[in-house]
């Protein structure tokens, strides 16, 4: 028998990309591939790429540059670029890195195993790309962006008891700064039957937590004749699957955070009261230039709906872009004010990065100097961090249920090998990170942790041993 092929894969970008990589690896494993951690040992090298900011693309092009020598020495190695940058830059990738063999868009991932074989057999450069947003009739464009969700290998997931589950691909919102609608194509909901089948299989494999993925996941809908399934319906059906303990969903679009959906989050015990709903800016004028489709007052109404339905247990997080085209100091201050008003659990803050092919790139000058973007980024982050730390104080002295994910980054690696207690990490139902010392056998269990200290991003605790339920007793 031939020696197995060896695959090296590097992934940047969002959770959708992490899931795509998992799927591609699973499909290659079925063909006998093994994973390796170094490009030097691999005969197949894949980059799963992101185009959301220029920095993410630069990172990939530098990594490709570093690979040039390796490929010159070993021309038989197959190098593939997949994901959003493949769809955006297409054959430009061959110009910038002429040794690349494959360019495969995120809507064509099912072709990867065959294309690798073809490149190995015949040589030459191969592309598999979806249609652009103006390259045909809507249905043809939709069909050309295929979701890729084959059966997966439980060993591929970050932890065996957690999984991403795609319910929607693409995006139709066309925010003026954003490349995603171009790289991922039109919004399409997956049929509920497929989602439920996949969730049942994951539960059988021992998966306890699923995170539903979509660019605007709460806009999810699937029409079948007269019947329309929305996210609230899907959550209700997923909640009934035994074995699944927690259900999360990201990322949400403010306008589609309806009472129906929030009531489902309140009433379904497995659904986490954690809502990632990016605001992007606290200024109506900026939101308009971004074409986000809502005002600050709409967002406030949504926050009121969340508070009314879920109360204090809800954890809301956001994304912000600073230094978007024409952003004045006063407009930036409006974002600071909204962070203070909404008191997000956390916010991801990004400096605006012009993306060729977007409406902002075509029509609005990227006129905020980099130094100002940087200063605004730091300022917004500092305000958010203070709020996160202050609000985490409320957890002091309380017990929280934590799904234990594994050793923390600080865990002693020698102790990990001997099985001795180490620093473990996990998350609460509302997505807060908790670290504590414990026996490694706790990994994969949901256990109560008593919180004795907090920072902006982490709760520190100890395993609660006096609970009546004996299965929670730890030998730590």
Q: Using CB under 6 A, list all residues that contact ligand SAH.
A: 52-53, 177-178, 180, 215-216, 251, 278, 280, 319, 321, 350, 352-353, 355
User: Minimal distance in Å, beta carbon 358 to ligand F3S?
Assistant: 11
- Binds ligand SF4 by CB under 6 A, chosen from 44, 51, 147, 216: 216
- Binds ligand F3S by CB under 6 A, chosen from 145, 152, 166, 184: 184
- Binds ligand F3S by CB under 6 A, chosen from 27, 51, 176, 251: 51
The site partner of 353 among ligand SF4, ligand SAH, ligand F3S, none (C-beta below 5 to 8 Å per kind) is: ligand SAH
Rule CB under 6 A: is residue 14 a binding residue for ligand F3S?
yes
Rule CB under 6 A: is residue 17 a binding residue for ligand F3S?
yes
CB 133 within 8 A of CB 181: yes
Q: Which is nearer to ligand F3S, 357 or 406 (CB)?
A: 357
Q: Which stretch binds ligand SF4 (CB under 6 A): 58-66, 122-130, 167-175, 268-276?
A: 167-175
Count residues contacting ligand F3S (CB under 6 A)?
13
Q: Which is nearer to ligand F3S, 214 or 407 (CB)?
A: 214
Q: Which is nearer to ligand SF4, 208 or 292 (CB)?
A: 292
Looking only at Cα atoms, what is the longest distance across the chain? 68
CA distance 448 to 445: 10
User: Minimal distance in Å, beta carbon 75 to ligand SAH?
Assistant: 36
Pairing of strands 433-438, 422-427: antiparallel
Rule CB under 6 A: is residue 440 a binding residue for ligand F3S?
no
Rule CB under 6 A: is residue 17 a binding residue for ligand SF4?
no
Binding to ligand SF4 in span 250-289, by CB under 6 A: 253
End-to-end CA distance of the chain: 47
Window 168-187: contact mask with ligand SF4 (x via CB under 6 A): ---x-xxx--x-xx------
Neighbouring residues of 40: CB distance < 8 A, sequence distance ≥ 6: 70
Work out whether the CA dihedral 427, 428, 433, 439 comes out positive or negative: negative
User: Minimal distance in Å, beta carbon 62 to ligand F3S?
Assistant: 17
DSSP per position, 253-315? -GGG--HHHHHHHHH-TTB-SEEE---B-S-HHHHHHHT-S--HHHHHHHHHHHHHHHGGG-E
User: Minimal distance in Å, beta carbon 280 to ligand SAH?
Assistant: 6
Alpha-carbon distance values, 190 to 142, 167, 170, 209, 469 (Å): 12, 5, 11, 20, 40
> Tokens 């991003």 map to which residue?
457
Record the tokens describing residue 122, joined without a space: 């015949």
Rule CB under 6 A: is residue 215 a binding residue for ligand SF4?
yes
Rule CB under 6 A: is residue 52 a binding residue for ligand F3S?
yes
CB 326 within 8 A of CB 342: no
DSSP H helices, 30-152, are 54-73, 84-89, 92-96, 112-122, 138-144
User: Minimal distance in Å, beta carbon 284 to ligand SF4?
Assistant: 17
- Angle of the 296-310 helix axis to the 259-267 helix axis, nearest 10: 30
CB 39 within 8 A of CB 6: no
Residues at the interface with ligand SF4 (CB under 6 A): 171, 173-175, 178, 180-181, 215-216, 253
Residues at the interface with ligand F3S (CB under 6 A): 13-14, 16-17, 50-52, 83-84, 179-180, 183-184
């Amino acid at each position: 028998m031939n020696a197995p092929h060896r695959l090296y894969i590097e992934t940047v970008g969002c959770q959708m990309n992490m899931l795509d990589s998992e799927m591609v690896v699973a499909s290659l494993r079925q063909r006998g591939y093994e994973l390796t951690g170094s490009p030097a040992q691999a005969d197949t090298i894949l980059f799963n790429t992101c185009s959301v900011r220029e920095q993410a693309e630069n990172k990939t092009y530098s990594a490709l540059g570093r690979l040039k020598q390796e490929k010159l020495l070993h021309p038989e190695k197959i190098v593939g670029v997949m994901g959003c940058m493949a769809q955006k830059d297409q054959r430009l990738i061959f110009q910038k890195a002429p040794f690349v063999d494959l360019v495969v868009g995120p809507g064509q991932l099912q072709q990867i195993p065959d294309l690798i074989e073809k490149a190995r057999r015949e040589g030459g450069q191969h592309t598999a790309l979806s249609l652009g947003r103006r390259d045909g009739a809507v249905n043809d464009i939709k069909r050309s962006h295929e979701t890729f969700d084959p059966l997966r290998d439980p060993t591929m997931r970050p932890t065996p008891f957690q999984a991403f589950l795609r319910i929607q691909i693409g995006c139709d919102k066309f925010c003026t700064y954003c490349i995603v609608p171009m790289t991922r194509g039109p919004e399409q909901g997956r049929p509920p039957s497929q989602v439920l089948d996949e969730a049942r299989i994951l539960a059988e494999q021992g998966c306890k937590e699923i995170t539903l993925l979509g660019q605007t996941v709460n806009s999810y809908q699937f029409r079948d004749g007269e019947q329309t399934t929305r996210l609230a319906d899907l959550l209700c059906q997923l909640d009934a699957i035994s074995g699944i303990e927690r259900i999360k969903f990201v990322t949400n679009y403010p306008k589609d955070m309806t009472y129906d959906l929030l009531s489902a989050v309140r009433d379904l015990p497995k659904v986490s009261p954690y809502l990632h709903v990016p605001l992007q800016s606290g200024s109506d004028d900026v939101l308009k230039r971004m074409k986000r489709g809502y005002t600050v007052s709409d967002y406030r109404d949504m926050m009121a709906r969340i508070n009314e339905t879920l109360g204090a247990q809800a954890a809301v997080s956001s994304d912000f872009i600073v230094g978007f085209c024409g952003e004045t100091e006063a407009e930036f201050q409006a974002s600071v004010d909204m962070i203070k008003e909404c008191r997000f659990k956390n916010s991801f803050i990004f400096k605006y990065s012009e993306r060729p092919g977007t409406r902002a790139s075509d029509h609005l000058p990227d006129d905020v100097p980099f130094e100002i973007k940087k200063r605004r980024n730091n300022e917004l982050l500092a305000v958010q961090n203070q709020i996160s730390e202050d609000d985490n104080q409320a957890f002091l002295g309380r017990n929280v249920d934590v799904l234990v994910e594994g050793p923390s980054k600080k865990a002693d690696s020698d102790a990990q090998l001997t099985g001795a207690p180490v620093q473990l990490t996990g998350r609460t139902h509302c997505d807060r990170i908790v670290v504590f010392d414990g026996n490694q056998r706790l990994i994969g269990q949901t256990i109560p942790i008593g919180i004795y200290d907090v920072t902006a991003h982490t709760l520190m605790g100890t395993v609660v041993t006096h609970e009546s339920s004996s299965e929670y007793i730890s030998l730590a």
